[in-house]
Amino acid sequence: MAGLDQIADLAQPHALAVMGAFHKGAAPLPDGVETLVMLGPREPGFWASFTQSAEYCDTRPDPIDRWSRRIIDGLASDLGAQAFYPFATSPPHPFYTWAKATGRAWSSPVQFLVHDVAGLWLSYRGALGFATRLDLPPAPAHSPCTECAQPCITACPVGALVQTGYDLPACHTFLDQPAGQGCMTGGCMVRATCPVSRTYGRAPDQSAFHMRHFHR
C-alpha cells in the first residue's frame, strides 16, 4: 500500500509536493475515497520545471491545467488512486474545504488560505483519492497567523483584500493602472507580504503568469 513518503517521492521529480492529507470524516469525500492527498507546487523549483514541459511550450490554452492532468493522472494510475482537480468540474471540487481538513491550511485574516510551509502562496494542482486509510503524520498545532503581526490585513494598496472580504472590482481596477503593475508582475502584494510566503521561494514569473490569467 502507498504511504505518504512514497507519494512524495513520486511527485518530487515533477516539482510537486504533498501539501497535506486527511481521512474521510474530517471533510466529506467522494464515494470510494477514504484518504485524500493534496498536491501543490514544490518550491523553489516548480516554475523552472513546469516551463520545460510540452504543455508550456506548445502555446495552446490552459498549459498548467493540461500539465496537471497529465502528471497527476499518471501518479494516480501508478498508485491506484483517483485524481481530482481544482478546475474544470461544475460545481468545483471543494478544494478550500479540503485544504482546511488537512490541518495544514487555515483561513487567513483576509480569507485566502494560509499554509504551514507555502503561506499565502498556497495553491493546489490536484489531489489523489485512495480507497484505504493511509497512515498520516500529526498536523501542526496551530496556524502561523496566531503568532504574526498580520501584515496581510493592510498590504493591499487599495484595500481590496481585507478582513471583511475581497472587493474584486477594486482589485481589477487597480490592476489596470500603472501603479498596479507591481501586482501583475510580482503577484498579489497581500500574498507576497506574508512572512511564511517569503520563505517559500516562489518565482515571480509564476505569479505573473497566474495574474495574467486572473486579470485578462
| Residue 168 near ligand B12 by CB under 6 A | yes
Q: Is 37 in the site for ligand B12 (CB under 6 A)?
A: no
Secondary element (H or E) of residue 36: strand 35-41
Q: Closest CB to ligand SF4 among 73 and 195? A: 195
| Binding of residue 92 to ligand B12 (CB under 6 A) | yes
Quick one: which segment of 15-23, 56-64, 128-136, 206-214 binds ligand B12 (CB under 6 A)? 206-214
In whole angstroms, the minimum distance from the beta carbon of 64 to ligand B12 comes to 9
The answer to the question of residue 93 lying near ligand B12 (CB under 6 A) is yes
- For the bound state, the minimum distance from the C-beta of residue 10 to ligand B12, rounded and expressed in Å, comes to 20
Would you say 47 or 124 has its CB closer to ligand B12? Answer: 124
Bridge-based pairing of strands 113-115 and 105-107 is antiparallel
Please report how the helices 4-11 and 63-79 are oriented relative to each other, as an axis angle in degrees rounded to 10: 140
- Dihedral (C-alpha) 177, 182, 185, 190: value to the nearest 10 degrees? -110
Q: Are 55 and 67 in contact (CB under 8 A)?
A: yes
CA dist list (Å): 51 to 45, 58, 67: 10, 11, 10
Report the distance separating Cα 109 and Cα 95, nearest Å: 18
Q: Which is nearer to ligand SF4, 41 or 119 (CB)?
A: 119
Task: State how far the Cα of 113 lies from the Cα of 96, in Å rounded to an integer.
Answer: 7
**Does residue 195 contact residue 145 with C-beta atoms inside 8 Å?**
no
Report what 196 binds from ligand B12, ligand SF4, none; CB cut-off 5-8 Å by kind: ligand SF4
Tell me 14's DSSP state.
Answer: G
Q: Give 134 or 188: the residue with its C-beta nearer to ligand B12.
A: 188
Q: What is the closest distance, in whole angstroms, from the C-beta atom of residue 70 to ligand SF4 in the complex?
A: 29
- Choose from ligand SF4, ligand B12, none: what does 186 bind? Cβ within 5-8 Å by kind: none
